[in-house]
Amino acid sequence: MLTLSSQYHERVRSQGQQLEQLQEELDKLYKEVSSVRAANSERVAKLVFQRLHEDFVQKPDYALSSVGASIDLEKTSQDYKDTDTGYFWNRFSFWNYARPPTVILEPDVFPGNCWAFKGDQGQVVIRLPGSVQLSDITLQHPPSSVAHTGGTNSAPRDFMVYGLQVDDETEVFLGKFTFEVEKSEIQTFHLQNDPSAAFPKVKIQILSNWGHARFTCLYRVRAHGLRTKGTGDSTTGELH
């Protein structure tokens, strides 16, 4: 009887040790899985963040404040102002609608981070960081899936592009285009600048939007081309 009891206790002790070893293995495995999961989560997060900030335009942007572009306020439409709307949004901190036109020269394109002007017709004139032989214009507007209002009816629709010559008065027509909101959030339009002429300023004239009755929003405008060596030089240029 004593032998059976001893054997029983020995078996229990042995199984207890096995359970402890198994628990240690499980704890080790859990830590390894957690480590792999964390590493993958970080990698996925980086990929998502990178994807959200990529736009594949692959062209130098001369309408960027960090390279010296600015807004000619005298030739640009007035900001949209609505006292009641401004009070509501600022009070609840959902959207600071009163953004200056310089916001279109910045790469941060988040819902509400736009310049708004009254109605569906207006214009903005951008001083380029030098004389540029303009080749393309890119417009960007967030898709309806991330719009706080549930749509993109404040996005620009039909617009025209002009290059302003050095006298600051003569305008050269470079094309009329349509920004298709359902097509893509980033759209590049090839300009009719042939033979190539260099301009110190570019004007974007909005002719209509996608249905908003009170205002139109511009998020980001980019100007592409070749920056010339000399002011107003339309024959020689260099890649930048």
Name the helix (H) or strand (E) containing 224.
strand 220-227
Cβ density class 64-101: b for 16+ within 10 Å, e for less:
bbeeebbbeeeebbebbeeeeeeeebeeeeebebebeb
55-110 pLDDT, tens digit per residue, is 677 889 999 999 999 999 999 999 998 655 554 444 444 444 578 999 999 998 88
Q: Is the pTM of this model over 0.85?
A: no
| CA pair distance 94, 78, nearest whole angstrom | 23
The pLDDT, as a whole number, for residue 153 is: 92
pLDDT class of 193 with cuts at 50, 70, 90: very high
Strand ranges in 6-79 using DSSP code E only, listed in sequence order:
70-71
Tokens of 36: 């792999």
Domain 65-227 has CATH 1.10.760.10: no
Distance from C-alpha of 209 to C-alpha of 180, rounded to nearest angstrom:
10
Q: How far apart are CA 139 and CA 64, in angstroms?
A: 13
pLDDT of residue 236: 36
**Cβ partners under 8 Å of residue 199, min gap 6:** 128, 131, 132, 134, 163, 164, 165, 172
Render pLDDT for 8-54 as a digit per residue (tens, 0 to 9).
567 767 766 777 777 777 777 777 777 666 666 666 655 544 454 45
Helix (H) / strand (E) containing 127? strand 122-140
Is the predicted pLDDT of residue 232 greater than 50, yes or no? no
Residue 124 and residue 204 in contact, taking contact as beta carbons nearer than 8 Å: yes
* Digit-coded pLDDT (tens) for 125-157: 999 999 999 999 999 998 877 665 546 899 999
Question: What one-letter code names the amino acid at 147?
Answer: A
Question: Which carries the bigger pLDDT value, residue 233 or residue 172?
Answer: 172
The pLDDT of residue 235 is above 50: no
